[in-house]
Amino acid sequence: MLIFLIAEYYEHIEETEWAIETCVNTGLVTAANMCIGPEGDLHGVSTGDCGLRMYEAGAKIVGLNCHFDPFVLLEGMEQIKNAFDRNGIVVNKDVFLMVQPLAYMTPDASKQGFIDLPEFPFALEPRILTRWEMGRFARLSYDMGIRYIGGCCGFQPYHIRALAEELTEERGGRPHEGSRKWEPNAGGLQMHTKPWVRARASTEYWNNINPSTGRPHSSSFSDPNKWGVTAYDNELKQGSERK
């Protein structure tokens, strides 16, 4: 059994380094995640350089978590992996990768992620990913070399199940009786009374569906607040606190 510490949800690399150093001093393996996307941290350090600095600070598992959807975070993870490759750091030998995204789609989010969206935090449900999108995320992550694949805000049990089902073979397991019921000859949808629903009993159908919101006149994207600041920034100070 491997016992390790996770230092996560940091927007600034310097703060992340402090946390890693504290964890490493315990003698335990340290995993570190930053809540940044492909644009880097809030001080302008690139995502690739943030990954390198987490590793150099002593983290043996490096990645990103929260603030962005799976596919935006995978763009950031690609930058980290490329930075390791350029510097001769071998993934899954010298360092391991991890990713824990939101279960909400955030293609319209700004540098600070979903917290800048007008729907945050109480109206995010229309953005929730389907289990099919989660399965695609699991496959893309694994193929990139990521071996710690999880989730953050918005994840539901069926999302985790989708990740596990997509990687059943890689995990050395076997599909359980209730899985893959959408496939031909597997029961499930083929028992439905409507022929057009029975016709949906295929992986191809569900992998290629583009689900609608079901909300009349809903906007396709939102306009983020785009503050790009955090606690103690001068813009957030009040009265005599302001410089």
Whole-number pLDDT of residue 129: 96
pLDDT, residue 189, reads 79
- pLDDT-derived band at 234 (thresholds 50, 70, 90) equals confident
pLDDT of residue 203: 82
Mark 14-51 as b/e (b = at least 16 C-beta within 10 Å): eebbebbeebbeeeebbbbbbbbbbbbbbeebbbbbbb
pLDDT at 239: 65
Number of C-beta neighbours around residue 3 at 10 A: 6
Q: What is the pTM of this model?
A: 0.89
CA–CA separation, 169 and 174 (whole Å): 7
- Could you tell me if 59 and 29 are in contact, meaning their C-beta atoms sit under 8 angstroms apart? no
Residue 242 has pLDDT above 60, yes or no: no
Residue ranges covered by each domain of the chain: 4-176, 180-210
Q: What is the DSSP letter of 129?
A: P
The pLDDT of residue 79 is above 70: yes
Over residues 119-161, the pLDDT tens digits come to: 999 999 999 999 999 999 999 999 999 999 999 999 999 999 9
Q: What is the pLDDT of residues 80-114, one digit of tens each?
A: 999 999 999 999 999 999 999 999 999 999 999 99
Q: Looking at residue 11, what is its pLDDT?
A: 95
Backbone φ, ψ for residue 169 (5° rounding): -65, -45
Confidence of residue 231 (pLDDT cuts 50, 70, 90): low
Q: Please give the CATH topology (third level) of the domain spanning 4-176.
A: TIM Barrel (3.20.20)
pLDDT at 225: 84
